[in-house]
Amino acid sequence: MLEVGTKAPDFTLPDKDGNQVSLSDFLGKKVVLYFYPRDNTAGCTREAQAFAAANEDFRALNTVVIGVSKDSEASHRKFAEKYDLPFLLLSDPELTVLQAYEVWQEKKLYGKVSMGVVRSTYLIDEAGIILKAMPKVKPDTNAGELLTFLRGE
C-alpha cells in the first residue's frame, strides 16, 4: 500500500461511458478511491451497493466515490445500470493504476497462486494527499468505516 501522507499518483482512465476522468479533476474535494476485483461478483456487488446507499452522505462531506477495476467500460456500464450506482466506475484493463496504487498483487485461493486485485481503499484529501490507506477491506463494512472516519467519530 502507498503511504499515508504521500501524494496520490494522478491518473486518467475511462468511465463506463468512455469519458476520460483524472484524479486531478477532483482537487478541492476528498476522494474515496476503492479498488475491487470484478463487476457482478457477490462481494463487489455488496460493496458497490453499500457505497451507493451512502453516496449522499459522502457528498454531504465534500467527498466523491470512485471505484476502479480492470473490467471493461461495457462491463462497468451494465454493472452501474443493473444496481443503479450513482458514482464513477473507472476501467483499468492495462493495470496501470492498479499497479501504481499497489493493489495488483499475488493472491492465493484454494492453494492456487494468481495475480489479481486485492480489495483496497484510499481516502485522498482535497490537495491530493493520501489521508487513509485501507488494505484488504471487507465489502460490507468499507463504506461505513470511511464515513465514520470522515465524520471524526
The verdict on residue 52 lying in a domain is yes
pLDDT at 150: 97
**Distance between alpha carbon 13 and the CA centroid of its chain, in Å?**
13
pLDDT digits (tens, 9 = 90+) for 12-44: 999 999 999 999 999 999 999 999 999 999 999
Cell numbers of 111, please? 492453494
The verdict on residue 4 lying in a domain is no
Whether the predicted pLDDT of 110 surpasses 90: no
Q: What is the CA radius of gyration of the chain?
A: 14
- Considering 21, 44, 66, 118, which one is annotated as catalytic? 44
The verdict on residue 3 lying in a domain is no
Identify the domain containing residue 133 by its residue range. Answer: 12-150
Whether the predicted pLDDT of 101 surpasses 90: yes
Q: CATH number for the domain including 19?
A: 3.40.30.10
- Collapsing DSSP to helix, strand or coil, 23 comes out as helix
DSSP secondary structure, 77-127, as one string: HHHHHHHT--SEEEE-TT-HHHHHTT-EEEEEETTEEEEEE--EEEEE-TT
pLDDT average, residue stretch 115-126: 96
Concerning whether 53 is annotated as a catalytic residue, the answer is no
* Total domain count, the chain: 1
Residue type at 67? G
pLDDT digits (tens, 9 = 90+) for 121-139: 999 999 999 999 999 999 9
- pTM, to two decimals: 0.96
pLDDT digits (tens, 9 = 90+) for 59-90: 999 999 999 999 999 999 999 999 999 999 99
- Angle between helix axes 73-83 and 42-53 (nearest 10 degrees) is 60
Backbone angles phi, psi at 73, to 5 degrees: -60, -45
